[in-house]
Amino acid sequence: MTTLTSYLADPRPAVRLRAVMAAGTEPSTDDLELLVEQCALEPDLQVREMLTWALLRLPAEVVVPRVLRELDRPEPQARSQALHTLSKIRDGSVYPQVVARLEDLDPGVVRTAWRAAVVLVPEASRAELARALAVQLGQGDRETRLALSRALAGLGAEVVAPVLDAAAGHRNADVREHAADTERLLHDPDAGSALALERARREVALGRTRSAKG
């Protein structure tokens, strides 16, 4: 009889997807370790999403402690997927461990930590989180900047208004521009795609200008 271990080792994503779906359909804590381990190495995004769903089907009191341990693993994917799963479980008690990952060395993990922190932050810590996120304004590529803008917008206009007002007067033009983009996204949640396209065009134009000068 083929085991879940064998299915998860199959090179075909469709096979792994069906196996994880079956595990979630008939949840058993016996599968917890296998599912968590697969999160760290699964190359397919759709399968990773299904892994999170399968973990959500198990009792949170056994899943949360096990997933928290993944935040200390050396593999960025393990940390990122753990943050994603914790954000879906929505257990606010893990917020301190999640917000600690805002200082992660891997940019992808940091972006996931932004999203997870916004979901899990206690009301009393929302302004503090906004200030911590605002430190990153103006940094990174357009994907990173849009992710940060969305995270800030997720905290709400009243919470982020002070940090955006401060950033609007920053001496760094990138910070000011990013703050303005975030302000737009805050009032128009559908502006994300337009902002990404606009920034891409600006980068291309800037690149051409530099080439002409250089």
- Please name which of 142, 139, 144, 153 lies closest in space to residue 190, comparing C-alpha atoms: 153
DSSP letter, residue 93: G
Q: Which pLDDT tens digit goes with each residue over 99-124?
A: 999 999 999 999 999 999 999 999 99
To the nearest 10 degrees (0 to 180), the angle between helices 157-168 and 142-154 is: 130
What is the structure's pLDDT at 23? 97
CA 167 to chain centre: 23
What is the structure's pLDDT at 1? 46
**Are residues 193 and 201 in contact, defined by beta-carbon separation less than 8 angstroms?**
no
Q: Over the chain, what is the mean pLDDT?
A: 91
Q: Which pLDDT tens digit goes with each residue over 157-175?
A: 999 999 999 999 999 999 9
Q: Which pLDDT tens digit goes with each residue over 131-146?
A: 999 999 999 998 999 9
For residues 57 and 62, give the distance between their C-alpha atoms in angstroms, rounded to a whole number. 11
- Please name which of 96, 27, 20, 14 lies closest in space to residue 62, comparing C-alpha atoms: 27
pTM for this entry: 0.87
What is the structure's pLDDT at 187? 86
- pLDDT band of residue 90 (cuts 50, 70, 90) is very high
Q: Which domains does the chain have, with CATH numbers?
A: 1-120 (1.25.10.10), 125-214 (no CATH)
Query: For the CA atoms of the chain, what is the radius of gyration?
Result: 20
For residues 115 and 111, give the distance between their C-alpha atoms in angstroms, rounded to a whole number. 7
Structure tokens at 179: 């703050």
Q: Over 70: is that where the pLDDT of 195 sits?
A: no
What average pLDDT score do residues 58-71 get?
98
